[in-house]
Structure 1
Amino acid sequence: AAQTGNCSLLQGRRFYCREWALDKLWRCLENRSVPGQPAGLLVTGGPGAGKTALCTEVVWPTSKAGVEVGLASRCLASHFCQREDQRSMGLVCPPPGYKEILNSPSVSSTLEPLTCQKDPDNTFKRAVLGPLLDLSPPAQTLMMVVDSIDVAFEAGIGGGKSGSIAELLAANQHLLPGWLLLVCSVRRHNKAVCKMFSGEKR
């Protein structure tokens, strides 16, 4: 069952006036498997525009519109990039077999903190892309939600490897399976990150 608002980052505040954005996201999700469609959707806006509120409503719906559109049940995983909370990542509705693959020794060993820091690109390919590509395509397209990908982004600090979540996703988004839509949010004025995802729908 889809998770509801008890985990919502809105913390009791109402979600309103952005129902159109939920509908647009639903349409992008429905069209993801159509050949030629972009692999992702980029949610942009200024500070306080409601980007995190939208991503939160997608994952943990609190409004009538959010519940009715049914996006939460199609969210594979989410990550809310918050400086003050390093525990903001989690699987929401993983498809059958995904957790078992992650728990296998060959994959779980790549998730050790030191391994992740040493080679984040290889970790992403072995622990995220590999397992996803090994799965049978689900009946419906799913999405992965990453909010505030520009948090802590500094261009060129990786020394030849991805030094941020934004760089990691930008470098590997073309490898995602055709049944998965990458949904990211970013502040509009961060031109460097927006340019990295220039091929995504907005």
Structure 2
Amino acid sequence: MRHIMMLFLGLLILGCNSKASNKDNQNNNQDSIAQPELTTVTKFNYADFKIMKGRLGNIKIGMTITQAEHQFSGLSKKENDAGVFGFDGGGSAYLYYSGDDIVFALIPKHGTDTIFCIIAAHKELKTTNELNPKSSVEELTKKYPELTVVQDLMNGWEIIEDKINKWSFTFMSDKGIEIGEYPEVGKPSKPKRLDVKTDWIEIR
């Protein structure tokens, strides 16, 4: 009788341990299923993309579009006609956005993948002399006291150039509210309206 009781107790303990083990395994499986996969969201760091002569950060004139796209992340891409930036003759412009805001655009030579122009468009992008693509004419005159503005005869837009750095501050001016006055066709003007803000900076 005593042997039978000992056998019964042994089987009871073994059964309890087995149930506990199964429960632990189920809990472990549930924990592993419940744990979400961690993802890293990459944001575009404007401070790393200084507007310089012939380049925007590590993006350089003469690179291919593919090479340039390896230099940044965190932006979406759209393709448009280069004519939106005043370039005639067809060709593509590749625009890069943060949300709904355009940050910059890359324009390759027509029929190639080689970049010949960079359009800096976002106000958080800074030049080496602390201007930006939304700087006003007044802000530009403080950096370039002798500046003049020229009118593009093709579309009527106006341009202020930094010839040393090969930057063109571009203004999509409307007729009748130009920055300068142009009594002679093709002749530069001193700026008359100082509150107008740049639309973008063209980097060559």
The TM-score range, normalised by the shorter chain, is under 0.3
Q: Determine which structure has the larger strand proportion and give its number.
A: 2
TM-score, normalised via structure 2 length = 0.26
RCO higher in structure (CA 8 A, sep ≥6): 1
TM-score, normalised via structure 1 length = 0.27
